[in-house]
Amino acid sequence: MPGEPLDTRTTAVFVGPTEDRESLAIRWLDGHVSTYAPRYLRLQCPCAGCIEEMSGRRLLRPGDVPEDVYIRAIRYVGRYALHFDFSDGHGTGIYPFELLRELCICGEC
């Protein structure tokens, strides 16, 4: 078979707003649905400005992010990651699907 096998846990089949439009929903190939509050995603930003590269120490503090932050735009980065443009002007984080699946806060995960 050509190509790599798809990991059903980290392959997104749907990325978009939840019904109430307040959060981001991702449906995975294994049938699981994850929902993320925009502020939660913003606080988990993995970019070099938010996490110290060498130590992995988080530089971003919760007080740095407005309570009502929202996602202005979502862009695919290849097949493996998403890029979010946040309303607080931050947009340097690349979120691999693997990370997003890890960040799922539902009881099952």
Q: Identify the residue among 41, 45, 71, 100 touching Zn ion (CB under 5 A).
A: 45
Among the listed residues 12, 41, 50, 65, the single contact to Zn ion using CB under 5 A: 50
Residue 42, SS3 per DSSP: helix
Q: Decide if residue 6 touches Zn ion (CB under 5 A).
A: no
Non-local (6+) Cβ contacts of 33 within 8 A are: 25, 26, 27
| Nearest-angstrom CA–CA distance, 88 and 98 | 25
> Is 38 a residue that touches Zn ion (CB under 5 A)?
no
**Contact stretch for Zn ion (CB under 5 A) within 10-18, 19-27, 46-54, 73-81:** 46-54
What is the C-alpha to C-alpha distance for residues 26 and 51, in angstroms, rounded to an integer? 24
Number of residues that bind Zn ion (CB under 5 A): 9
Question: From the CB of 76, what's the least distance to Zn ion, in Å?
Answer: 18
What string of DSSP letters covers 15-27?
EEE-TTSSSEEEE
Residues that bind Zn ion (CB under 5 A): 45, 47, 49-50, 93, 104, 106, 108-109
